[in-house]
A and B are shown apart, each in its own frame.
Chain A
Amino acid sequence: MTDALFLALSTLAIWSGWRVFRVDSMVRASFQLMVSFIAVGLIAVLLAAPYIGIATIFMMAVEMMVMALFMVMFMMNPAGLNPMVMVHQHRFSIAAGIIAFAGLTAAVLLSDLPVQRVPEGVDVVRNLGHELLGPSMLIFETAGVTLLATMIGAVVLSAHSGRYGASDTGSLPPGLTPGGEPAGRKPENGGHHHHGGH
């Protein structure tokens, strides 16, 4: 039963992962990826990791939703009109795909994977909590706080209301003397309209 479920879910994960690159719309691709992650999450539930499995579903639903939303914002691609191609940089991606597949396969085949049955009656969620907030606390909290700081920083940088007024009207700090030069570092070659190279 578990084996059949595992096979079905892995097939679904791989199939929907492949569909990500074959569908013709960003929104469809995002949600195909979400389906793939949901299948992986359910496999984690089968592997007696209910918290990690369901939390994966939860997080991926939110993340893919946000991704799809941004896709619609940046490239409004309605449901059935204006098909798009989901693959580009063919040569590079083929090479990257082959290398990644070979590397991961080698890792799976060559490493000595532990075979441990989870004993009945072990409180896995509690153990995970003790691990995360015990020995792994430092790395867990560092990653968490870094991510939070990144998010707040991104919002502050992109917000319209700058510290010294609206961003599209300059948002210059006041001078050190009354009516003097604006304090702080001056932006090089005039401006905020510097587009990143991607």
Chain B
Amino acid sequence: MAMNWLSALARGAEIPVFAVVGAQGLAPVEGLRHRPGLRLVDSPRHARVLLVAGAVDGAHKTALERLHAQIPTPRGTVWWQAAPLFARGQGVAGDDPLPAIRAAAGADDPDQRPDVPPHPWQGMGPHGQGGRGMMGGNPYGRPMAMTADDIRDGLALDVYNARFGPFLPMLPPGLVLDLTLQGDVIVSVSVVSPPFEQGMQGDAPDLCAARMLRLMGIAPRAARARGALLALPKGSGTRRRLAAWLRGQTVTERPSPLPEALPGLEWAEAVLWLASFLPSHLRAACMPRQAA
């Protein structure tokens, strides 16, 4: 009874969609953001439908399968102008994925990956911990934090190594980074794979500004944007580049290689730094490392 009543109410809800942005997908996904009837969410856990917009490299198939598994069941998948990497959901070739998303909101994809832990338990200490002492080690195949010098103040805190990307919504789509973090400070970086090609559309100033402002928690309206410049550290390139975009100019500055530029920045600063360059320039800056 109560369930029926809830389901009836839920029928009018917006469909939470997690968008995986592939090649040339940035601008079309941005266009979806204000469509009524759906809501783009930041985490696959919050989503009902997985939308793959634009071609995703076959090298990221496993990552995409894991993402699919992270969407709580029942889930649906839509491949929008993208060749399916696995046999779930349906494809859309046209400009409007909304009907397909509506259909997927009623679908129930079976699991693509078996729901088992990827690594067995590997505790080795006397109490089941990972290392011999209380820290470090590799329990469950996860490298555990271990103290190391902080690059900013020399205080020996725990470092955390992990791979971030390629579909994290705050990073440029396709970019995969191996990061060493101390708290939210980035200690070292290596680029595993570069961002996807986004073409001319992805470099449009208003689109770039909107992406950056969203990371700062506001919508892109001129009056609000003025305060946005003050929020960024003075003299930082991020402030200069956001100002250029807000004036409608194209940013011509090119990023220095990520492994040199990112260490020492906090997570939020690093994310804003990455968002403050044209996607095409960022891709170019990551490419030679990839080839080497």
Contact = CB atoms under 8 A, between A and B. Distances in A.
B183 A75 contact: no
Interface of A is mostly: loop
Contact of A84 (B129, B140, B147): B129
Interface string A115-152: 00000000000000000000000000000000000000
A76 interface: yes
A37 B98 CA distance: 54
Contacts of B147: 74
Interface residues of A, number: 17
Contacts of A24: 127
A72 B142 CA distance: 17
A82 B139 contact: yes
Contact of A160 (B127, B129, B152): B152
Interface string A64-76: 0000000011111
Nearest to B135: A75
B264 to A, nearest CB: 11
B158 interface: yes
A85 B127 contact: yes
B137 interface: yes
B127 A84 contact: yes
B138 to A, nearest CB: 10
A188 interface: no
A75 B145 contact: yes
Nearest to B126: A85
B144 interface: yes
Given A81-B130, A83-B128, A158-B153, A76 B160 contact: yes
Interface in B126-167: 127-131, 134-135, 137, 139-140, 142, 144-145, 147, 152-155, 157-158, 160
B234 to A, nearest CB: 16
Contact of A75 (B134, B153, B155): B134
Contacts of B160: 76
A167 B155 CA distance: 12
Interface size class of B (residues with CB under 8 A): 20 to 34
A81 B134 contact: no
B145 A168 contact: no
Contacts of A76: 135, 144-145, 158, 160
A84 B129 CA distance: 7
Contacts of A168: 153-154
A83 B129 contact: yes
Q: Most chain-B CB neighbours within 10 Å: which of A72, A74, A168?
A: A74
Interface in A1-26: 24
A128 B210 CA distance: 55
Given A81-B130, A83-B128, A84-B134, A74 B142 contact: no
Contacts of A83: 123, 127-129
Contacts of B137: 82
Interface string B116-127: 000000010001
A77 to B, nearest CB: 8
A152 B155 CA distance: 18
B60 to A, nearest CB: 26
Given A73-B158, A160-B152, 20 more contacts: A72-B158, A73-B157, A75-B134, A76-B158, A77-B134, A77-B135, A81-B144, A82-B123, A82-B130, A82-B131, A82-B134, A82-B135, A82-B137, A82-B139, A83-B127, A83-B128, A83-B129, A84-B129, A85-B127, A85-B134
15 contacts: A24-B127, A73-B157, A75-B134, A75-B158, A76-B135, A81-B140, A81-B142, A82-B131, A82-B144, A84-B127, A84-B129, A85-B127, A160-B153, A167-B153, A168-B154
